[in-house]
A and B are shown apart, each in its own frame.
Chain A
């Protein structure tokens, strides 16, 4: 069965960076895209970007360009997200989510359990 296993919770200082991993199993890694979606406490879902590993392409909404990077390691079937210049408003649960059809289905068919990132001085 499909599993997306994410790294553990992080506590970071303002201005620092955080890197979260998402290891996929139960499917051919390069057949899919992998997105990151975050959810601040008590808030809704916010899309942060996507990577299509087979093409090595990424796409980010304007809000996150320059401060957010998604990478993928095909040899370990793992996607990563890195957010820099952290501020308190970045405190949220960060989810990785799989996108079918080499990223062309444009919906998220499986989700990781989420990783809580807390930004606090």
Chain B
């Protein structure tokens, strides 16, 4: 089945930019979605279809996808952005939804 990998953790200083990667074989040919999960809460979609933002999600959140890597970028990071972030794709060959391993973002 399709495998998607993420770095376990990313640390970023307040006000700086965090980049979270999501790697998979030719992932650029798939649609990638990103979810933010804060402790004790359900996930929330922050980017869908590679780079679209749902209403209510700040413009600081952006996404891109090309080749073997998709990237979620969070600019002007603040303490409220500390969370786990998961990428997700749908693998058409197996007709299965696949989540990445998750990345913990820490604001230092």
Chain A interface size range: 20 to 34
Does B48 contact A44, Cβ atoms closer than 8 Å?
no
Taking the closest CB of chain B, its distance from the CB of A23, in whole angstroms, is 15
Restricting to B68-108, which residues have a CB under 8 Å from any CB of A?
86, 88-90, 94-102
Tally A-B pairs: CB < 8 A: 55
Taking the closest CB of chain A, its distance from the CB of B54, in whole angstroms, is 7
Does A61 contact B102, Cβ atoms closer than 8 Å?
no
A111 to B44, CA, bound (A): 7
Does B33 contact A45, Cβ atoms closer than 8 Å?
no
Taking the closest CB of chain B, its distance from the CB of A64, in whole angstroms, is 11
Measured between beta carbons, the chain A residues less than 8 angstroms from B86 are 44-45
Taking the closest CB of chain A, its distance from the CB of B98, in whole angstroms, is 7
Measured between beta carbons, the chain A residues less than 8 angstroms from B100 are 44
Does B48 contact A107, Cβ atoms closer than 8 Å?
yes
Measured between beta carbons, the chain B residues less than 8 angstroms from A53 are none
Does B98 contact A45, Cβ atoms closer than 8 Å?
no
Measured between beta carbons, the chain A residues less than 8 angstroms from B97 are 35, 47, 50, 106
- A44-B101, A45-B86 in contact; A107/B42 too (CB < 8 A)? no
Restricting to A77-119, which residues have a CB under 8 Å from any CB of B?
95, 97, 105-109, 111-114
Contact with B along A32-55 (1 / 0, CB 8 A): 000101000000111100100000
Does B95 contact A59, Cβ atoms closer than 8 Å?
yes
Q: 17 pairs across A/B with beta carbons < 8 Å?
A: A44-B86, A44-B100, A44-B101, A45-B35, A45-B86, A47-B96, A47-B98, A59-B95, A61-B1, A106-B33, A106-B90, A106-B97, A107-B45, A107-B90, A108-B33, A108-B88, A111-B44
A-side residues, CB < 8 A to B, are 35, 37, 44-47, 50, 59, 61, 95, 97, 105-109, 111-114
Given A44-B102, A107-B48, A112-B42, 14 other A-B contacts at CB below 8 A?
A44-B101, A45-B35, A45-B37, A45-B86, A45-B102, A47-B99, A50-B97, A61-B94, A95-B43, A106-B97, A107-B88, A108-B33, A111-B43, A111-B44
